[in-house]
Amino acid sequence: MVTGIGFGVDIGGSGIKGAQVDLATGELASERTKIPTPRSYDIDEVVQTVLDVVAKAGWEGPFGCTFPGIVKRGVLHSAANFGPHWIGLDLQTMLAERSGHEVHLLNDADAAGLAEVDFGAARGRDGVVIVTTLGTGIGSALFLDGKLVPNTELGHLEIDGAAAETRTSSAAKEREGLSYKEWAPRLQRYYAMLDFLFSPDLIVVGGGISRKSEKFLPLITGLRCEIVPAALENQAGIAGAAMALAEG
Ligand code: BGC
């Protein structure tokens, strides 16, 4: 087991958040520092904001960091909500050089999933587990017997000719002014698809809106697997980022 205090940063579409993390429990060990994501999505401005979050939190040292796109060995291979100018960027090296410390970069949903598997709703669960995050997009993390298969991008499964996340994310709910009851059939279709394609043993539903899970999870019915709310809500990304660095 990894112990000590680490630092995690979660780069999101609307905010960049960071905090110290107790690596033995996944709990945040400091206040969360949050700065809005620059609306320009300019690379330099976003990187500077990450460094500002770390500095404002008073952290000097290595940190884990998430990005809402495909991340392979520190390099971005997609950036659905940040724009194509991010693709191909070695963001991990850039953050390490600009901060002067080691950085571990990973997909945001993968980070949230790691935290849920180690400390949250999927703790101690074997078999196939899918953690999803409902937010600006839909993130996914796939686990087999607790081991992550990274970068699954299941929010981009196509439904009616478009990525599922465009109509089913919580941002889509907000954008279209849908009530929970109106949004639920879209969730039903999406989660039934995941259930059919992957036959998971457990689906965990995360993202900020998981705080209100009682309003929509009971409306998702007929799945062959259990579907439960995330336990760590919005702090999962920060915790998972810090843990990913610590666990190498
Ligand atoms: C991105 C994923 C990300 C998810 C949640 C999607 O649009 O493609 O990489 O995990 O949004 O932020």
| CATH code of residue 205 | 3.30.420.40
How many distinct structural domains can be found in the chain?
A: 2
Q: Which of 41, 138, 190, 209 to mutate to test the pocket of ligand 1 (most atoms within 8 A of CB)?
A: 138
Q: Which residues line ligand 1 (CB under 6 A)?
A: 68-70, 78, 80-81, 107-109, 133, 135-137, 139, 153, 155, 165
Residue with tokens 């439904």: 159
97 and 129, same domain (yes or no): no
- Tokens 């693709």 found at: 87
CA pseudo-torsion sign 18, 20, 25, 27:
negative
The answer to whether residues 86 and 38 belong to one domain is yes
Q: Quick check: helix, strand or coil at residue 7?
A: strand
The reply to whether 172 and 243 lie within a common domain is no
Tell me if 115 is assigned to some domain: no
Residue 105 lies in a domain: yes
Q: Which domain holds residue 187?
A: 121-231
Task: Give the predicted TM-score (pTM) of the model.
Answer: 0.97
Residues 53 and 67 in one domain: yes
CA distances from 75 to 71, 125, 142, 147, 185 (A): 5, 30, 20, 21, 36
Q: Give Cα separations from 48 to 15, 76, 98, 122, 200 (angstroms).
A: 13, 18, 9, 34, 39
Same domain, 197 and 154: yes
Question: Do residue 98 and residue 138 come from a single domain?
Answer: no
What is the per-residue pLDDT for 248? Answer: 80
Give, for all 248 residues of the chain, the pLDDT tens digit.
788 999 999 999 999 999 999 999 999 999 999 999 999 999 999 999 999 999 999 999 999 999 999 999 999 999 988 999 999 999 999 999 999 999 999 999 999 999 999 999 999 999 999 999 999 999 999 999 999 999 999 999 999 999 999 999 999 999 999 999 999 999 999 999 999 999 999 999 999 899 999 999 999 999 999 999 999 977 999 999 999 999 88
